[in-house]
Amino acid sequence: MNTKWVGKRVKRIDGPEKVTGELKYMTDYHFDNMVWGKVLRSEYPHAKINSIDIEPAKNLPGVICVLTHKDIPGFNGFGIVVPDQPVLCSDVVRCTGDAVALVAAETLEIAEQALSLIKVDYEPLEVVADAEYALTDSAPKLHPDGNLHSHVKIKNGNMEKAFEEADIIVENTYYSPRQMHAFIETEGGWGVMDDEGFLTIRCPGQYAYRDRMQIARSLAYNPERIRVISSPIGGAFGGKDEITVQIYLALLALHTNGRPVKIHLSREESVIAGIKRHPFKVQMKTAAKKDGTLLANQVKAIGDTGAYASLGGAVIALAIEHSCGPYKIPNVDLEGFCVYTNNGIAGAFRGFGVNQVCMGIETHMDMIAEKLGIDPIELRKKNVYHQGEVSSVGHIVKSSAGTFKTLETAENCDLWKNRAKYKSEVSEPWKKRGVSVATSFHGIGMGIGLPDYGAASIELLPDGTFLVGVGCEEIGGGNSTAYAQIAAEMLNCDISNISIVQGDTHRTLDSGTVTASRSTYTGGRAVAAAAPRMTELLIQTAAEMLNLDSSQIALRPNHISAHGEIIPYKSIYKYLHDHHQTTRVEGHFYLPKEKEEIKGSGGAPHHLYGYLTHVVMVEVDTLTGETEVLRVVSIPDAGKVINPQGLEGQTEGGAVMGIGYTLYEDILIENGYHKTRNFTDYIIPTIRETPLIETFPVEEPEQSGPFGAKGIGEVVMIPIIAAIMSAIYDATGARIRHLPATPERVFNALKDLKKQKVQSTR
């Protein structure tokens, strides 16, 4: 298709103001009459609250209000699926991130002082520090129904028979870290209530409409009287999907006499109170025939969701749905447990459970390939499902599936073809290089059982330009530019004539979340649904103005022409305005769904998936165990690429985040207390850990998507995890199964390897 904007390297429309720092984040705002809010967090990971004395704090000069659970007008709880997290704890605390009281004061310092004056009488209880222990009878129950929040199970075929018939079986256990989103802007925002009781909450989030609903529920307040502005955002990656501080802001705003109240978590508070990626223990047993055909896969995954559910159940379900990779394995027995502990709170994070299981199946693919003497890409090509085939979880994949093409591209890329040469080019004698490949996939949109829709509005403005509104926030991924490209393409105008508004319950329609790799696809489709209505409005109006039939009107770039006459959009606006007619159109879209849910799966399958293959080269310093990723090739199937530059932003950012997950990052919690406190100890990659990253998209157009696009925001960080792990093995012969692969872990694995060699030669 011949396009002007779609598929082109269009510069980020929000680029200049972000690069120059001109843009203000919500937490950058200051007002003369503003007051500061602070949250009192629990002293203990698990304790009974006997009493809370707020009087000394209230009496401190400069304190405006001190609030506890008693001051919550509505429901004292929040949570996207199950609202099991108290807004303010009343009887028991379950993690050190739990909120017990709120303070508003004239200055931040006074607010902090006031917190220290609140006397909470706790009675410490036994701490549940381990997910497996949590499932035993001796562990104290953290919630009325026990410590198992959810359990999913998918079973197909005959496992016993398959393992009997297998020529090769590999079985291992994998441990993954508690990754932090590490967004640049910590959780925060501000709230204000006007004279007429209208409440405005400005707080970065990933779904303004749902945040509004959760605020309204706790305040027992008409949601129509609440406006939530959730965009722009200094990064989220899933970490602002759940409520962060919105309800605290709302509660405080009820008590500050109309003065705006601001909360902005320090990094240290964000580490403790913010949600994290679920640490998993994954036991996996995979069977294959001599020719490399996969026969069976058995998976048992336990995820530590911490004190509250948030999206834990959905994370485990998605992990299990993806635990066999994009392959067709006829016999599977897949089981996942989402477990409560006192280890902070885990929830949504880019990849959503797939990261943790991908390292298992992809490592097994490499082990099987090595044992059978088959090329690892060949083995994968042999087992991937194609469009129309049955996946491992047992459904027919009807949407586009590009794994095979990504593998072909991998096979032919320079790094893979010339890997022997690159591996030999080590700079010092104790360094070793390895090159490996891995592939994965990721569902787009919500699974079965959750409504999933998109909506967009397009408004003709007085100056003849268009305002496109989409609920989905701009969290940094570049969806605003994609929306502008789609709108400009379909309205046949220059992109500078498009402005975008996002994440505002009063200015945009509900378009669902910015999660689940869905916002380009869903929001884009909604814009594409609205655009023809705008064209129709323009043509009809012009016809009316000129007294012509609409078939005589033609839409030209940035104007309308008819019979040699040019009508600028300004005039159309004026005409509509003068005739009291609307200048706004809407487009709605419902995401295609699979009809039948796989039994016990908790929402599988998805109708759509994005696919990606990574090839990486690492260099391991065998003296110290340090691993450096030297090169990354990222081969996404995102369907039609709306903006190659935007896609590269995703693949590069995703690769670096995957490198961090694999080599550096972990929030350490001991007996319920955080050992990792801030960025001094939480190690994320810097530019010096960022390798050369190449992106070679294969485009398998998806019929249902805007211009054939799919989603890609999450899978960009997934296969690289397994690829780095295997590349370390390729370099050194040591397999790391406990992430992150810190220098110490790699060094110890190398030490063990030496010991084994000594023993075997004896």
Partner 1 sequence: MLVSEIDMITPSSLSECLMLLSKKGRIHRVIAGGTDATVRMKEGKWRPEVWINIKNLNELRYIEESDDCIHIGPLTTHTDIIHSPILQRKADVLVDAAREVGATQMQNMGTIGGNIGTASPAGDTLPALYVLGARLELTSMSNKRTLPIEEFIFGPGRTVLKENEMITKIIIKPQSPNEIGIFQKLGPRKAQSISIVNVAISLTMEQDLKCREGKIAFGSVAPTIIRARKCESMLPLGQLNDELIRNIAKIAWKEVMPITDGRATATYRRDMASALLERGLYRLMRRWNNQ
Looking at residues 421 to 460 of the shown chain, list those that interact with partner 1 (rule: CB under 8 A): 428, 430
Q: How far is the CB of 681 from partner 1 (least distance, A)?
A: 6
CA distance 238 to 247: 18
| Residues in the chain, overall count | 762
Q: How far is the CB of 652 from partner 1 (least distance, A)?
A: 18
Which one of residues 668, 671, 756, 757 is an interface residue with partner 1 (CB under 8 A)? 668
Q: How far is the CB of 673 from partner 1 (least distance, A)?
A: 12
In this complex, which beta carbon is closest to partner 1, that of residue 63 or of residue 437?
63
Instruction: List, in sequence order, every residue forming a beta bridge with 552; answer none if it has no partner.
Output: none
Which one of residues 151, 597, 743, 753 is an interface residue with partner 1 (CB under 8 A)? 743
Looking at residues 88 to 107 of the shown chain, list those that interact with partner 1 (rule: CB under 8 A): 107
In this complex, which beta carbon is closest to partner 1, that of residue 353 or of residue 685?
685
758 interacts with partner 1 by CB under 8 A: no
* Span of 217-225, 346-354, 501-509, 745-753 interacting with partner 1 by CB under 8 A: 745-753
Please give the structure tokens belonging to residue 176: 């993954």
* Span of 447-455, 560-568, 611-619, 681-689 interacting with partner 1 by CB under 8 A: 681-689
Among 666, 46, 86, 47, CA closest to 341 = 46
Please give the structure tokens belonging to residue 159: 């496992």
In this complex, which beta carbon is closest to partner 1, that of residue 383 or of residue 627?
627
In this complex, which beta carbon is closest to partner 1, that of residue 37 or of residue 740?
740
662 interacts with partner 1 by CB under 8 A: no
CA distance 166 to 364: 14
* Span of 199-207, 334-342, 476-484, 743-751 interacting with partner 1 by CB under 8 A: 743-751
Residue 567, CA distances (Å) to 101, 192, 535, 556 in order = 61, 44, 14, 10
Q: How far is the CB of 422 from partner 1 (least distance, A)?
A: 21
CA distance 553 to 569: 13
In this complex, which beta carbon is closest to partner 1, that of residue 110 or of residue 314?
110
Binding track over 398-417 against partner 1, x by CB under 8 A: --------------------
Among 572, 579, 580, 585, CA closest to 462 = 572
Helical spans, DSSP H, in 594-643: none
Binding track over 455-484 against partner 1, x by CB under 8 A: ------------------------------
In this complex, which beta carbon is closest to partner 1, that of residue 223 or of residue 743?
743
* Span of 30-38, 220-228, 454-462, 747-755 interacting with partner 1 by CB under 8 A: 747-755
Please give the structure tokens belonging to residue 147: 């410590």
In this complex, which beta carbon is closest to partner 1, that of residue 184 or of residue 687?
687
Asked whether 563 and 556 are in contact (CB, 8 A), the reply is no
DSSP code, position 141: P
Among 304, 244, 175, CA closest to 661 = 175
Binding track over 577-616 against partner 1, x by CB under 8 A: ----------------------------------------
Q: How far is the CB of 683 from partner 1 (least distance, A)?
A: 4
* Span of 44-52, 73-81, 97-105, 679-687 interacting with partner 1 by CB under 8 A: 679-687
Helix axes 312-321 and 354-372, enclosed angle (nearest 10): 20
Q: How far is the CB of 151 from partner 1 (least distance, A)?
A: 34
In this complex, which beta carbon is closest to partner 1, that of residue 566 or of residue 623?
623
Backbone phi and psi for residue 348, each to the nearest 5 degrees, phi listed first: -70, 140
Which one of residues 623, 671, 755, 757 is an interface residue with partner 1 (CB under 8 A)? 623
In this complex, which beta carbon is closest to partner 1, that of residue 1 or of residue 687?
687
Which one of residues 9, 119, 675, 757 is an interface residue with partner 1 (CB under 8 A)? 675
Strand intervals (E) in 488-531: 498-502
Please give the structure tokens belonging to residue 120: 């909470």
* Span of 367-375, 510-518, 548-556, 622-630 interacting with partner 1 by CB under 8 A: 622-630
DSSP per residue, 209-232: HHHHHHHHHHHT--GGGEEEE--S
Residue 17, CA distances (Å) to 13, 14, 494, 543, 702 in order = 9, 6, 20, 39, 33
Which one of residues 138, 547, 686, 760 is an interface residue with partner 1 (CB under 8 A)? 686
DSSP per residue, 645-692: HHHHHHHHHHHHHHHHHHHT----EETTEES--STTTS----GGG--E
Asked whether 548 and 563 are in contact (CB, 8 A), the reply is yes
In this complex, which beta carbon is closest to partner 1, that of residue 282 or of residue 667?
667
How many CB atoms neighbour CB 674 within 10 A?
22
755 interacts with partner 1 by CB under 8 A: no
Instruction: List, in sequence order, every residue forming a beta bridge with 381; answer none if it has no partner.
Output: none
Asked whether 617 and 727 are in contact (CB, 8 A), the reply is yes
Among 376, 356, 351, CA closest to 364 = 376
179 interacts with partner 1 by CB under 8 A: no
* Span of 219-227, 555-563, 635-643, 682-690 interacting with partner 1 by CB under 8 A: 682-690
Asked whether 102 and 40 are in contact (CB, 8 A), the reply is yes
How many CB atoms neighbour CB 423 within 10 A?
17
Size of the site for partner 1 (CB under 8 A): 27
692 interacts with partner 1 by CB under 8 A: no
Looking at residues 104 to 163 of the shown chain, list those that interact with partner 1 (rule: CB under 8 A): 107, 109, 113
Sign for the pseudo-dihedral over CA of 47, 51, 56, 59? positive
Please give the structure tokens belonging to residue 729: 């093995």
Q: How far is the CB of 614 from partner 1 (least distance, A)?
A: 21
Strand intervals (E) in 497-625: 498-502, 554-556, 559-562, 565-568, 584-590, 609-621
Q: How far is the CB of 736 from partner 1 (least distance, A)?
A: 15
Sign for the pseudo-dihedral over CA of 130, 136, 142, 147? positive
Q: How far is the CB of 684 from partner 1 (least distance, A)?
A: 8
Q: How far is the CB of 239 from partner 1 (least distance, A)?
A: 22
Q: How far is the CB of 17 from partner 1 (least distance, A)?
A: 24
CA distance 741 to 728: 9
SS3 content of the chain, % helix, strand, coil (to 5): 30, 25, 45
In this complex, which beta carbon is closest to partner 1, that of residue 362 or of residue 665?
665
Helix axes 208-219 and 246-253, enclosed angle (nearest 10): 50
β-pair type (692-695, 627-637): parallel
How many CB atoms neighbour CB 4 within 10 A?
14
In this complex, which beta carbon is closest to partner 1, that of residue 609 or of residue 664?
664
CA distance 453 to 456: 10
Asked whether 35 and 64 are in contact (CB, 8 A), the reply is yes
Which one of residues 1, 687, 758, 762 is an interface residue with partner 1 (CB under 8 A)? 687
In this complex, which beta carbon is closest to partner 1, that of residue 522 or of residue 742?
742
9 interacts with partner 1 by CB under 8 A: no
747 interacts with partner 1 by CB under 8 A: yes
685 interacts with partner 1 by CB under 8 A: yes
In this complex, which beta carbon is closest to partner 1, that of residue 48 or of residue 751?
751
Amino acid identity, position 32? D
* Span of 186-194, 361-369, 580-588, 685-693 interacting with partner 1 by CB under 8 A: 685-693
744 interacts with partner 1 by CB under 8 A: yes
Please give the structure tokens belonging to residue 374: 């088959």
Residue ranges binding partner 1 (CB under 8 A): 107, 109, 113, 428, 430, 621, 623-624, 626, 664, 668, 675-676, 680-681, 683, 685-689, 742-744, 747-748, 751
